[in-house]
């Protein structure tokens, strides 16, 4: 089979955070497939065709990319951040598993990108310096009860938590409900970071505490990061504090 599919993470937004490997694969592709706003981040090339789709149609988008590659095209299927973190890589392999047998013979490369949690961490210090996890608050593909159970388990285990998909027009209540779950397991003094549009011109970052964190600060462009009882603030003159989580855990005597 002569076609090829590159599943590409575009990074958090800034062009300079797109990896050279991803840049080369995008330049080599004849067909670009992705969520419309993500394709809009890429400069137009006369030799390329774009196949833009709406949100929440990931499997259909993956099938489009796979069908093009199976027909012999060089295809780039794009995601924001890293394609393997709540992105299109999983959707593509799910489509392959349930699709025509010929799709299993397509040459596929998954190219990593910088996920939002790493871009946010770099902006504010080193909050992911110890154990951490990422949880999507979206209940489109899993029930809210599962989300709440995972939040409680992560907080009780002492993980720093990066929350993806914290809020949308259709899901305005879930971040507040998540904070309520976390308040049952963490001190109110634990830092909470709201990072919106990180690395883009309209970037906004605010640090609050779990006791006073306002869910209205977040939208779908926001990553919310919750520290642990060990996460520390380092004050700086005339600037926002650094935030870091120590690398070790104190063992009780």
Domains of the chain, residue spans: 4-114, 117-244
Domain 4-114 indexed as CATH 1.10.1520.10: no
- Partners of 234 in the beta sheet? 242
Question: Which residues of the chain carry a pLDDT beneath 70?
Answer: 1, 251-253
Q: What is the CATH number of domain 117-244?
A: 3.30.950.10
CA-to-CA distance for 252 and 238, rounded, in angstroms? 37
How far apart are alpha carbons 165 and 236 in whole angstroms? 31
Same CATH topology for 4-114 and 117-244: the answer is: no
Q: Is 39 helix (H, G, I), strand (E, B) or coil?
A: helix
């Amino acid at each position: 089979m002569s076609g090829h599919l590159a599943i590409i993470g575009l990074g958090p937004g800034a062009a300079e955070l797109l990896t050279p490997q991803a840049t080369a694969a995008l330049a080599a592709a004849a067909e670009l497939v992705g969520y419309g706003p993500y394709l809009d981040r890429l400069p137009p090339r006369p030799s390329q065709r774009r196949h833009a789709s709406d949100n929440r149609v990931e499997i259909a988008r993956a099938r489009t990319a796979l069908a093009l590659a199976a027909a012999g095209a060089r295809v780039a299927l794009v995601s924001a951040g890293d394609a393997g973190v709540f992105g299109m890589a999983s959707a593509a392999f799910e489509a392959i598993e349930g699709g025509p047998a010929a799709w299993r013979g397509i040459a596929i490369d998954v190219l990593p990108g910088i996920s939002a949690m790493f871009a946010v961490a770099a902006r504010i210090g080193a909050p992911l310096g110890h154990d951490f996890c990422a949880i999507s608050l979206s209940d489109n593909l899993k029930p809210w009860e599962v989300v709440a159970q995972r939040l409680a388990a992560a907080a009780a285990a002492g993980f720093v938590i990066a929350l993806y998909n914290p809020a949308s027009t259709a899901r305005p209540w879930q971040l507040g409900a998540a904070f309520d779950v976390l308040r049952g397991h963490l001190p109110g003094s634990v830092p909470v970071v709201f990072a919106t549009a990180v690395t883009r011109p309209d970037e906004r970052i605010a640090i609050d505490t779990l006791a006073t964190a306002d869910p209205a600060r977040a939208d779908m462009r926001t990553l919310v990061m919750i520290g642990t009882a060990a996460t520390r603030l380092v004050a700086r003159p005339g600037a926002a504090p650094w935030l870091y989580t120590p690398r070790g855990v104190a063992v009780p005597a």
